[in-house]
Structure 1
Amino acid sequence: MGNPLNVTYITFDGFVELHRYRYLCFVLMFILYVLIICFNCTIVCLIWIHKNLHEPMYIFIAALLINSVLYSTNIYPKLLIDVLSEKQIISYPLCLFQGFIYYTLATSEFLLLSAMSYDRYVSICKPLQYPTIMGRRIVKCLLILSWLVPVSELTVSALLYADMKICSYTLKGIFCNSSIFTLQCVRSAVISLYGVLMLLNIGVFPLLFILFSYTRILIISYRSCKSVRRKAAQTCLPHLLVLINFSCFFTYDVVVVRLEPDFPQNVRLIMTLQTILYHPLFNPIIYGLKMKEISKHLKNLFSQVKSH
C-alpha cells in the first residue's frame, strides 16, 4: 500500500467494535491519560520540592515516573486520534519511530529498576559505606546509562528494520510494537539474532541482577534485627511489586506478540490495553501508598487542598 511519494502506510487491525464505542473509548482513554500525567507528575513534584526526598532512592523513583509519562505520551495522542478516525493508519517510518521510543522507555525501566535494586542493596547490606558508594556522581551516571544504553542498542535495531522489505501492511495491534517483525517478507536472521542479544542485554541480565540483589537483601535482613527487616520491607516491597507487574506485561509484549499465538481479537486487545493503561497508573499508586515519606507528603498536600 503506497502513494506517489512512496510513503508506506500500515493499518492497525487491533480495534474491536470501534464504530460502536468510538466516543466512549475516546473519553475513557483521555481521562486515563490525564490521570496518568497527574498522578506521576504529582509525586515527581513532591520529590523535587521536598529536600528530605533528595536521596538516590527517591531520585530513581522520580526518573521511573517521568519514564511512565513519556511512555504514555508516546502512545496516547496517536491512539486518541485513531479512535476518532475512520481509518487507523500510520506511516511506516513513524511506526518505526513509535516502536523505537516505546522499547527505549520500556527497557530503560528495567535498567532504572536495576539501579534501584543496587541502591537498596548498598543501603541495607552496606549502610556505613552507603554515602560514599551512592554519591551524586554515581547516581547521575546510573541515570544517564539507564537511558543511553537502550537508545544506543535500539538505534541499531531501528536501522535494521528500516532496511527490511515488508509484504504485509496490517498490524494485529493498536500501536507499533514487536508485531512490526511480522510485516517482513522473509524473516531476517540478523534481526532475530540481534533482537535476542538485545533482549538478554537490556532485559534478562538486568532482571537477574535485580533478583540477585534482592536475594542478598533478603538473606541479610533475615540475619539482622527487626528494624533492618522493617526497613527492607518498607523500601523493597514497592520496587518488587512494580518489577513483577512490569515483567509480566513486558514478557507478553516481547515474547507472546512476536510468536503470533492464535488469540481471539478481544483477548489480544484487552492484554494490549493492560500494558498501556494499568502499568503507568500502577507505579505512582504503589509508590504513593507504600513509600512512607512520599505517602506523608501526599497526605499533607491533600489536607492543604481540603483546607482551601
Structure 2
Amino acid sequence: MQNYSSVTVFTLDGLNETASHKYIFFAFTLLAYLLIWLFNLTLIITIIIEKTLHEPMYIFLCNLCVNGLYGTAGLYPKLLADFLSDSHVISFSGCFLQIFVIYSSVMCEFTILTVMAYDRYVAICKPLQYHSIMTSLTISKFLLISWIFPFCESTLSIFLTFRLPLCGSHIYKLYCENYSIVKLSCVDTTLNNVSGYIFILMHVSEALFIVYSYIHIVRACVKSREESSKFLQTCFPHLFTVIIFTTAIVFDLMYSRYGSKTIPQALRNFMAVEFQVIPPLLNPLIYGLKLSQIRRRVMRVFSREVDILK
C-alpha cells in the first residue's frame, strides 16, 4: 500500500472519453468562462462606481459576483489546460488548493444567499427599522462571516482529508473533490464522513432559514400590494438564484456519492460541474435584467465608456 506521503500527483479520469471532441469542449468551456467574467465583472464594476447602488442588497450582490469569479478560478483554468493535454494530472498540493477554492466558494455562496435573505426579510417585514438594523457595522459583520466562516470550514475539511493515508491516486472526476480523495483512503474515514454530514446539516440550516424568511416575506406581501411589488422586483431574483444554486449542489452531492458509471461520461461531467457553470452565468443576468436600478446603471456605465472611446 502507498500512503499520502508517496502520492505526488493525482490523475483526473473525467476526460478519458472526451478526447475525440476535446477541442469542441475546450471552445464551449472557454466561451462559458469568458461570459462568466464579462457578466460578473460588469455587475461588480457597476455597483462599485455607482454610489446610488451602495446599499446592503447591492453590496451583498457584489460579493456574490466576486465569489462567483473566485470559485470558477479554481476549476476553469485547470480544466481548459486539461482539454489541450493528453495527460490529465494535478500535483498533490495543487489538488488540495483546488478543493479549498471550490469548497470555500460553495460554502461562501450559501452564506451570502442566507445573508441576502435576511436583508430582504428586514426590508419587507420591518421596513421602518431597516436602516437602524442594516447599519454599516452590521453589513461589515455579515460580510466577514460570509467569507471567514467558509474559509475556516474548508480548512478543517481539508486538514481531515490531508491526514489520511491513501491507497490510490485516480480521481474519477474533472477536478479534485474532497469525497473522491476520502474514498482513496486505506483507513477508516468515519471522522471525515461525520464532519461532512455536520457541514451539510449546517448549510441545510441556512437553507431552512431562507425558507423561514420567505414564509414571512410572502405573508407580508399578501397583506400589501406595495410589498408584493417589492417582492417581485427584489426578492424574486434572490429566490430564483437560491433555487438554481441549491439544485446544482444537490446534483453534485448525489453524483459524488451515488453516481453510476453506467451514466454517459458527458452527462456525468455536466452533473459534476453544473454548479460552476449555471449559477455564475445566470446570477448576474437575473439581477441585471430584473432589477431596474442595476439595468439603468449598467447602461449608463457602458454609455460613458462609449463616449470615452469616441
TM-score (ref. length: structure 1):
0.93
1:251-293 C-alpha deviation (Å, 9 max, x unpaired): 1222431234343323201222422222211111111111120
Tell me the equivalent position of 2:190: 189
1:3-61 C-alpha deviation (Å, 9 max, x unpaired): xx944321111115433222232232222212111110111111011111000000000
SS at structure 2 position matched to 1:183 = coil
Tell me the equivalent position of 2:164: 164
| Runs of 4+ off more than 6 Å | none
- d(CA) in 1 for partners of 2:199, 2:89: 28
Moved more, 206-215 or 25-34: 25-34
Say whether residues 1:239 and 2:231 are aligned partners.
Answer: no
- d(CA) in 1 for partners of 2:228, 2:279: 28
Gaps of 5+ in 2: none
8 Å CA contact retained: 2:245, 2:279: yes
SS at structure 2 position matched to 1:10 = strand
Tell me the equivalent position of 1:283: 283
8 Å CA contact retained: 2:10, 2:90: yes
Quick one: which amino acid aligns to residue 208 of structure 2? L
8 Å CA contact retained: 1:16, 1:269: no
- d(CA) in 2 for partners of 1:233, 1:182: 45
- d(CA) in 2 for partners of 1:8, 1:76: 22
8 Å CA contact retained: 2:7, 2:169: no
8 Å CA contact retained: 1:93, 1:162: no
- d(CA) in 2 for partners of 1:56, 1:31: 32
Q: Structure 2 matches for 1:45-56, cutoff 5 A?
A: 45-56=45-56
Say whether residues 1:210 and 2:215 are aligned partners.
Answer: no
1:229-264 C-alpha deviation (Å, 9 max, x unpaired): 101111000001110000011112224312343433
Size of the alignment, in residue pairs?
304
How far did 1:305 drift? 5.7
SS at structure 1 position matched to 2:60 = helix
1:94-132 C-alpha deviation (Å, 9 max, x unpaired): 212211211111011111001000000001111111111
Say whether residues 1:75 and 2:72 are aligned partners.
Answer: no
SS at structure 1 position matched to 2:10 = strand
Quick one: which amino acid aligns to residue 232 of structure 1? F
- d(CA) in 2 for partners of 1:34, 1:264: 27
Q: Structure 2 matches for 1:32-47, cutoff 5 A?
A: 32-47=32-47
Moved more, 96-105 or 260-269: 260-269
Quick one: which amino acid aligns to residue 103 of structure 1? Y
Q: Percent identity of the aligned residues?
A: 37
Q: Structure 2 matches for 1:262-277, cutoff 5 A?
A: 262=261, 263-277=263-277
Gaps of 5+ in 1: none
SS at structure 2 position matched to 1:21 = helix
8 Å CA contact retained: 2:255, 2:272: no
- d(CA) in 1 for partners of 2:71, 2:170: 23
1:179-203 C-alpha deviation (Å, 9 max, x unpaired): 22322234501110011111111x1
Tell me the equivalent position of 1:253: 252
How far did 1:84 drift? 1.0
